[in-house]
Structure 1
């Protein structure tokens, strides 16, 4: 039985990704009729309807959906095979699709990515910042950078831990001048707190020697976004807990003070994840190595 033409797989995936033959034709710069004809011949060869299409609608059949997932995987593998050879003779090139949460993008990646782009001018970076759960495999991403407080759930993704950093208790000089500086974790119970979540009333602190104390500041404000917490803290509304890298600049500029420097309010871990086969691509490998160097400092 003859093998399916890889070009037909490519046209099929482009049509599905674009949502129509017209969009795929526009992206590829070829006639719409060519795409329609090749996919019709692909369906005839397979003996199955892959796409339900009318003048007003375009949708995958059940078997078409399964076929699409495997077809896209086959193209990725073909690209990987080609790039393994090309990596021996050329610098990393191609598109790298990267996703991260909005805070991780703002505080960890925003300064790194321009440097990466200058170092590897043939790599086309696509940065997608989103706080929703992103399925790397199903949505076609090469890499994800995730900052998390709890361990990540088990998965088939390759993971690389980039850093573990402490969470500081911070307050503005103005707040300290008005309300005094806490000298022990127990003092936090009589101070105003800026909380990161509705149920985060208790702050669990750990000393450099391993001692553990739970404090419950007086709730003044809640915000689940780091910049809002920094702004509220620098405005003198209360104390808050922030990862060290997020509040480092504000501390250096004397906008915030690191309160209880011998204590931390837990840790946050930053992990890089990727589908196994994507990590073989030179462009992805170069991006992983660069981010590891930058974020592991």
Structure 2
């Protein structure tokens, strides 16, 4: 049976150009390498090297066996690197930016746990609804929610999730005004809109049916937290990303309106500059966000 260690020594001898340089590189006696190659050839039943006192030339079969030996060498090196990555505790500062709702409704609960798991990583968090220039402003990670595809910016993009935008209202509002039974009923209801100019909602159900409706404008705000607060106050019906209002729906503080319909989708994407994204501390943050996404 062929010994994997003999294959590794054979690969080292080939890459070093002979027994003498390989022996110096490995800090082994030259005679040991010669004996191990002889044992490998005996196990294979074929000569791998035509060798004299001055030359070290692979046979045709030797060249083929070297490719297999090199594959074994790569696997061994990969295993060693995997162990080193595991043992090396990530450290350093990671600067991360995300929208205000993401910070308020998601990271406030998750990132303290990350800090407990990685005491050598210092998180610097920046909450902003504007699209921060990561490279120019020195950020390592951005978590962005968007309704249309992000432009090609040269950043590494990794999609975290796609969540529906749902219509919600306070039970008190629905008790006073009645719950809509179909999209057309929304025309007689107060709407909490994300934009005072775009006063219609384009709804879609699971069957692919679409409906464009125009509720009466009660309030417009381009920030989801404000829309959520207005809905909780009973001012009207609001379109809100599902993950932002999940707690209120579960507690009964809000109720779904037309639960078979959604008012679009919001995609959450993690972005990193190419080189910064390879740092162990940055990889740890990204891995945590993906593993604990819900």
Q: What residue in structure 2 maps to residue 32 of structure 1?
A: none
The residue correspondences of 1:188-267 to structure 2 (distance < 5 A) are 188-267=186-265
Q: What residue in structure 2 maps to residue 149 of structure 1?
A: 147
Q: What residue in structure 2 maps to residue 25 of structure 1?
A: none
The CA deviation at 1:156 is 0.7
For 1:214 and 1:125, how far apart are their aligned partners in 2? 43
Structure 1 position 140 matched with structure 2 position 132: no
For 1:128 and 1:86, how far apart are their aligned partners in 2? 32
Q: Which of residues 286, 290, 294 in structure 2 aligns to 1:292?
A: 290
The CA deviation at 1:87 is 4.3
3-state DSSP class of the match of 1:167? strand
The residue correspondences of 1:172-191 to structure 2 (distance < 5 A) are 172-191=170-189
The residue correspondences of 1:27-106 to structure 2 (distance < 5 A) are 87=85, 89-106=87-104
For 1:254 and 1:96, how far apart are their aligned partners in 2? 37
Q: 1:168 to 1:159 in 2, by over 3 A?
A: same
Q: What residue in structure 1 maps to residue 123 of structure 2?
A: 125
For 1:88 and 1:240, how far apart are their aligned partners in 2? 46
For 2:275 and 2:238, how far apart are their aligned partners in 1? 41
The residue correspondences of 1:11-26 to structure 2 (distance < 5 A) are none
Q: 1:136 to 1:176 in 2, by over 3 A?
A: same
3-state DSSP class of the match of 2:292? helix
3-state DSSP class of the match of 2:143? strand
Using the size of structure 2 for normalisation, the TM-score is 0.70
For 2:147 and 2:259, how far apart are their aligned partners in 1? 20
For 1:247 and 1:271, how far apart are their aligned partners in 2? 19
For 2:275 and 2:84, how far apart are their aligned partners in 1? 16
Q: What residue in structure 1 maps to residue 114 of structure 2?
A: 116
Q: What residue in structure 1 maps to residue 278 of structure 2?
A: 280
3-state DSSP class of the match of 2:168? strand
The CA deviation at 1:138 is 1.3
Deviations 1:169-199 (A, max 9, x none): 0111111111000011111111110111122
Deviations 1:78-120 (A, max 9, x none): xxxxxx9984642111111101121221122221110110111
For 2:246 and 2:170, how far apart are their aligned partners in 1? 13
Q: What residue in structure 2 maps to residue 49 of structure 1?
A: none
Using the size of structure 1 for normalisation, the TM-score is 0.69
3-state DSSP class of the match of 1:273? strand
Q: What residue in structure 1 maps to residue 66 of structure 2?
A: none
For 1:197 and 1:104, how far apart are their aligned partners in 2? 20
The CA deviation at 1:220 is 0.7
For 2:291 and 2:144, how far apart are their aligned partners in 1? 16
Where in structure 1 are there 5+ consecutive unaligned residues? 1-83
Deviations 1:134-174 (A, max 9, x none): 11111111100000111101111001000000011011111
Greater C-alpha Rg? 2
